[in-house]
Amino acid sequence: MAHGTLRVTDPAPGVRLLTIHRPQALNALNPQVLRELMQALADASGDASVRALLLTGAGEKAFVAGADIAAMRAMSALEGREFAVQGHALMRALEMAPFPAIALVNGYALGGGCELALACDFIVASEKAVFGQPEVGLGIVPGFGGTQRLTRLVGKGMAVELCTTGRQVKADEALRIGLVNHVVAPAALLDKGLELAGQIAQKAPVAVKLAKHLVQRGQDMDLANANAFEADVFGVAFGTDDRVEGMGAFLEKRKAEFRGR
């Protein structure tokens, strides 16, 4: 399916693939792209068959090269803030989606593109991937959560360095500093994403949703409250049909047939 700037496919059972398709602009984010991503994410979140989401950019040069500078140049201060609020809403929706979202970074992921990848649950990068927050070179700061998610992922010192120098990080360094989970050859990027998404899709859907929820919400709590939250959610999982099926299948040495309830 096509949604203007977005291509939506289901390349494997339980897997939804969103491809940002503005190759003439290196897939740069503008208000239309943000709206269409939000709608596609809402559609996927309302589809019980979707167990994992892959997000990538069209072409070989860029995942998302950044926010659309031509569009931003004409924005007033109020319009700039509204654009940031729109971006933050999308990033939060990715974090709160009922399935893991995996960024497949095939090239440049700069500015808003880096922030979009950071909002996914984890990142698989091509060897050609390049990350960065270059906004200070434009007289602005990251506006879609880059200063905050980058800090939580790579630590304060590295986040301050990247956000104040605008330095770009290639795939090997991104792996070393914990920005990405995997680095693969460009031709293997989609296959790696499908492999990981397929592993997720085979597991109990409610348990996967709860596990993601615990990580996303717990990181902003102190350890004692986060662990108490985990204990509560652990108990909730015991009330699901999937828990009965999963434990029964394990003890009976057969494959579990999860139904997401």
Distance of CA 173 to the CA centre of its chain: 19
Instruction: Tokens for 123, please give them.
Output: 């990142």
Residue whose token pair is 């990068």: 125
Query: Running DSSP on this structure, what letter comes out for residue 259?
Result: -
How far CA 67 is from CA of 72, 120, 205, in Å, comes to: 8, 17, 33
Indicate which residues carry an active-site annotation: 115, 135
Residues 6+ apart with CB under 8 A from 252: none
Number of Cβ atoms within 10 Å of the Cβ of 224: 8
Contact 53, 16 (CB under 8 A): yes
Buried b (16+ CB within 10 A) or exposed e, 109-147: bbbbbbbbbbbbbebbbbebbbbbbbbeeeeeebbbbbb
CB 30 within 8 A of CB 65: no
